[in-house]
Amino acid sequence: MIDALYQKDVMRLAASAKGAGKLPTPTATVTVDNPLCGDRVTFDVVMDADKRIQEVAHTVKGCVLCQASASVIGAEAKGETAESLNAVRDTLRGMLKSGATAPTDGKWAALVAFAPVSGHKSRHECVLLPFEAVIQAAKKP
C-alpha cells in the first residue's frame, strides 16, 4: 500500500539527491521524457577509455520515485558500463513485474526500496526512466 510506496528509504533516497546537478564537460548528455506524466530526466556522463562511467550527474523533473531512482544511480553508477547497467535494469524490472524482493547484490541493494512499487503498474516507469536515460548516455558514441 501507499505507506510502503513512500517508505522512509525511498523518501531518504530522493532527498539525498546523490549526483544531482550537471557535469562541466560531459562526454554525453541524454534527456528522456515520460509522455504519460511529462516527467523529464537528464543524465550527463563522462566515459573512460574502457567505456565505463567515470562521472555521472542528473537533473530530474519528476516524482519522488523518479528522484530516488536517479539518486541510486548517482551514487552507484561509477565504473559501470551500458551493458552492466542494462543488467541492473533488467533485474529491477523483474522485481517490479513479479514482486520478487531481493533482486540485487551489495552495490545495488538500495533498489530493494522500490519493491513496494511492484503493485503499482502505473508507477513502474517512474523508477525505470532514470535507468533508460543513463544507459542511453553510456551507450552514446
- 49 CB burial (10 A radius; 0-12, 13-18, 19+): exposed
Residue 114, all three cell numbers: 522500490
Q: CB of residue 53 vs other proteins: minimum separation in angstroms?
A: 27
Q: List, in sequence order, every beta strand (DSSP E) within 4-140.
A: 28-34, 39-47, 53-61
- 32 near other proteins (CB under 8 A): no
Chain centre distance of CA 138 = 13
- 6 near other proteins (CB under 8 A): yes
Site for other proteins in 44-83 (CB under 8 A): 61-66
Q: Which of 9, 11, 91, 104 binds other proteins (CB under 8 A)?
A: 11
Residue 5, all three cell numbers: 510506496
Partnered with residue 33 across adjacent β-strands are: 40
Q: CB of residue 16 vs other proteins: minimum separation in angstroms?
A: 16
- 2 near other proteins (CB under 8 A): yes
Give the range of 47-55, 75-83, 87-95, 120-128 binding other proteins by CB under 8 A.
120-128
Q: CB of residue 61 vs other proteins: minimum separation in angstroms?
A: 5
**Residue 141 contacts by C-beta under 8 Å, 6 or more apart in sequence?**
none
Query: Where does this chain bind other proteins (CB under 8 A)?
Result: 1-3, 5-6, 11, 36-40, 61-66, 120, 123, 126
